[in-house]
Structures are given as structure tokens and as C-alpha cells.
Amino acid sequence: MNAKAPALRVITLLLVLISSGCSKSRDDARAREVADRVKTEFLHAWNNYERYAWGHDALKPLSKTSHDWYGQSLLMTPVDALDTLVLMKLDTEADKARALIDRDLSFDRDIYVKNFEITIRLLGGLLSSYQLTGDKRLLALAEDLGTRLLPAFESPTGLPYVYVNLRTGQIRDPVSNPAETGTLLLEFGTLSKLTGKSIFYDKAKRALVETYKRRSQLGLVGSSINVETGAWTDPDSHVSGGIDSYYEYLWKCWLLFGDKDCLEMWNASIPVVQKYLADEVRGELWYGHADMTTGRRTETTYGALDAFFPALLALSGDLPRARRLQASSFKMWNLHGIEPEVIDYTTMEVKAATYHLRPEIVESTYYLHHYTGDSEYSRMGETIFDDFVKYCRTEAGYAALKDVITKEKRDEMESFALAETFKYFYLLFAPPGALEFDKVVFNTEAHPLRRTW
């Protein structure tokens, strides 16, 4: 045996370690550089909101005007974006946004608001920003809002109405869907834990359970349900918009609250999703639509909203499916250099051509990068970010696209672009200390909630 062999092996090992150390620090430096670019672009969006729409719900980036959802402002963009400002350490901007919220935000308004949207964007935003800043005024606003939303749950089934009047408590629109009836417990539950008032948890938990109880014999839920009768009005089942975050909250409420009922509901639901909604085409994994009663495939469509599902699969421990589905989402993204709202995955034809600055594919890239540490996902994230900037950046902020094929823009910058899309881009590239992933559960609007109780 060659006496020099052990020494050689040690030297080779050292060289491998040194060179992988070098490539790691190169990767880290590159990530920091992308994180800085994300921050700069986020500021471009935020500064233009400040310049043209300050105090309103949202910026209209093409006309450089503002938009209020209900004719008067609920400060949708500042509340939704505040925790992103804090996480990016944009302290001056964060303080200014917080001062505006503290001074001007009032929920004592005679307007009907959408319970689901207001819960995920405003209630979620106020709670996470309260946890990040310790500003008690934010918690007081959250409690006031939560209290004003409670009448929404006063239906014969306990499933919430779609709209509730913030001042009078009157409700309207009984036809809802599982995402809207089942995506409330992270926010209402956190409010209960932070205020010591159990009513919020109980109402939202009941709505989630009542949705689950109405699943078909196969175990699937449909696309629309009447909250007064509890009857389904559309049996179309999928993981897309209108149902998506119902599944997300089954798992996440187990994670955040340790609520065993949620775990049981998740365990009973997810194998059914795999059986009836998952689809294999050309060796790729996709999720389509099926009739909730018969399980028959009804549509082979997938889209920007479905692209949250790899994140949920990864979070719940199913990395193999998460990786495969993310590859499909990225294929969809690359079809036209930016993803459309809906495609038919059997033909790869675009079925709905808009792009609303949605975050879901970025969210999944972030989760997969976190769980696998694989540089494939930072490269993927960089491509997505470069395309996002290339096609959606405009002189006054970021604009949605009317058509991903022609790249024609539309006059819209939804608050979730700041709350979610930029936040997930940033966290994907930021140093690990920017946010301790394992200590938080993101609500469906990317507001990190912590078990501080």
C-alpha cells in the first residue's frame, strides 16, 4: 500500500472543502446582491405609492392615481406592506407608514367589506406588524376590526357571509367558497391568543370545520357554497383560487396552534386531493379539476394561483411532489417569460392571459430553497425576479399585465405585490437572520405570525 495515500486523501479533502467554501461564499455574495436589488425595486414601488396614492388603498401605476376599494380608504397598501418594510429594515418608511396607520386608520365606517380579503390583508397585516414592532395601537386596531367582522359569522350554519358592514354589522351575499369560509383561523385565532378573548378563535374554527363537514363522500370540497343552507352551488373541486387557502389553513393552524382537529382534517383531506386532483402529463405533475361528487376530471387547467401548492407540500413534508410541481409551475412561467393566470396543462395553451403581480410561484421557490438548500431554487428565483422587473416595472411602480403574450400592462398594483411578492423575493435571497423561518407561520397574505403567547 502506498504510504503517501492517507496524506494525499487529507489534502484532497481539504482542497474540496476550501473550494466548496469559496463557492458557498460566492453564492452568498450573489444572493446578497439580489436581495439588495429586490429592496431597491420594492422601494421603487413603495415610493411611487407614497408619491401618487399616499393615504389611499392602492396605487394605479399607469395613470399615477389612486384607488380605494370601497370609496373610502382602509389604508390597504400601508397595512399590507408594513411588515415587509420592517423586515427589509426600511425604518424611516416603516415609521412613516405606522404613523399614518396610527393616526388615520378607523374601521368605524358605514361600508360593506369582504370578510376574507379584509381578514387576510388587514387583520393579518396588523397582527404581524404588532408582533414585529410591539406597537399596541396596531393590536387595538386589530381587535376593533375583528370585533366588527364577527357579525359575518351569524349565519344558520356558522359559515361567514361574504360581506359585512363595518359600522352596522349588517351582512350580505350568502354564496361563498371554501377559501373564504376556511381562511380565517390563523388571523382570528392569533387575535384570540393575543387578546385572551376566545370568541374570535371559536367563530373562525367553526367556519373551517363546517366547511370540512360538508365535503363529499369522496372527501372533496366544491367551489361555491350557500352559507345559509350549507348546500354546494358549484361542485367543481381543485386547489386553485376559491379553494386554495382552505387546505393551506388546515395544515398551518395545526402548526401555529397545535390544533389537533386541524391536523385530522388535513390528514383526511390531502390523500383525496392526491387521488382525484393530481394529474400526470408527459411525466410532469400537475393539479387539475374534478367533480366533487363523482371524482370525474372536469378541467385540465392550472395557473398562477395554484402555484402556491408546492410551498404547502414542502411545508407539510412532501418534498418529492413539491419539487415536481414547482418544475411544472416554472415551465408555465417560462412559456411566455412570465406566468399567465390560467393554462391548459395538456396543451400548454393560455386560457387566461393576465398577470396580477401574483406571489405564489415566488412563495414556493422560497419554501423549496429553504427546505432543500438547493441552488437550483435561487437560480429559479433570480430568473423569475429578472422577468418580473423586465415586464412589470413601470415609471411609477409596478404594473400588472393585461396579457402575458403581448406584455401589455394594466393600471393595477395590488397590495399583495408589496405584502407578498416582494417579501418572498427578498426572503429568498436575504441572509437567514432576516426572518427565522421555523419560528413563524405565514398567513395566506405572507404575514408572518409567531407563537408569542
- Chain residues in the site for ligand DMJ (CB under 6 A): 120, 245, 305, 358-360, 416, 420, 444-445
From the candidates 83, 93, 180, 244, which is the catalytic residue?
Answer: 244
Nearer residue to ligand DMJ within complex by CB, 31 or 315: 315
CB nearer to ligand DMJ: give 376 or 387: 387
> How far is Cα 242 from Cα 356, in angstroms, rounded to an integer?
16
Q: How far is the CB of 444 from ligand DMJ (least distance, A)?
A: 4
Q: Which residue is nearest to ligand DMJ (CB)?
A: 444
Give min distance, CB of 304 to ligand DMJ, in A: 7
Cα–Cα distance measured from residue 61 to residue 66, given in angstroms and rounded to the nearest whole number: 8
DSSP 413: B
Distance, in Å, from the CA atom of 299 to the CA atom of 240, rounded to the nearest integer, reads: 12
| Whole-angstrom distance, CA of residue 370 vs CA of residue 437 | 8
Inter-residue contact 220 to 298 (CB < 8 Å): no
φ and ψ of 236, to 5 deg: -70, 125
Counting every residue written for the chain, the total comes to 453
Q: Which residues make Cβ contacts (< 8 Å) with residue 312, sequence separation at least 6?
A: 247, 248, 251
Residue 50 or 445 having the CB closest to ligand DMJ: 445
Q: Closest CB to ligand DMJ among 84 and 245?
A: 245
Minimum distance, C-beta of residue 188 to ligand DMJ, in the bound complex (Å) = 16
CB 30 within 8 A of CB 38: no
Whether residue 187 lies in the annotated active site: no
Contact 355, 392 (CB under 8 A): yes
Residue/partner pairs of 447-451 with CB below 8 Å, 24 or more apart: 447/83, 447/120, 447/124, 447/125, 447/127, 447/128, 447/129, 447/419, 448/83, 448/128, 448/131, 448/132, 449/124, 449/127, 449/128, 449/131, 449/186, 449/187, 449/190, 449/256, 450/131, 451/193, 451/256
CB of 56 to ligand DMJ, least distance (A): 18
Cβ 308 to ligand DMJ shortest distance, Å: 7
Catalytic residue among 57, 93, 339, 341: 341
* 420 is annotated as an active-site residue: no
Q: Give the position of cell 354564496.
A: 175
Q: How far is the CB of 243 from ligand DMJ (least distance, A)?
A: 11
- Comparison of 286 and 416: residue with beta carbon closer to ligand DMJ: 416
Shortest reach from residue 377's CB to ligand DMJ, in Å: 20
Active site residue 360: yes
Spacing of C-alpha 130 from chain mean position:
19
- Of 152 and 243, nearer to ligand DMJ (C-beta) is 243
Active site residue 341: yes
- Dist CA 41 CA 51 (whole Å): 15
- 113 and 161 Cβ atoms separated by less than 8 Å: no
Please pick, among 143, 187, 360, 445, the residue that the annotation labels catalytic. Answer: 360
**Which CB, 120 or 427, lies closer to ligand DMJ?**
120
- Considering only the C-alpha atoms of the chain, give the largest distance between any 2 of them, rounded to a whole number of Å: 89
Just list the catalytic residues.
117, 244, 341, 360
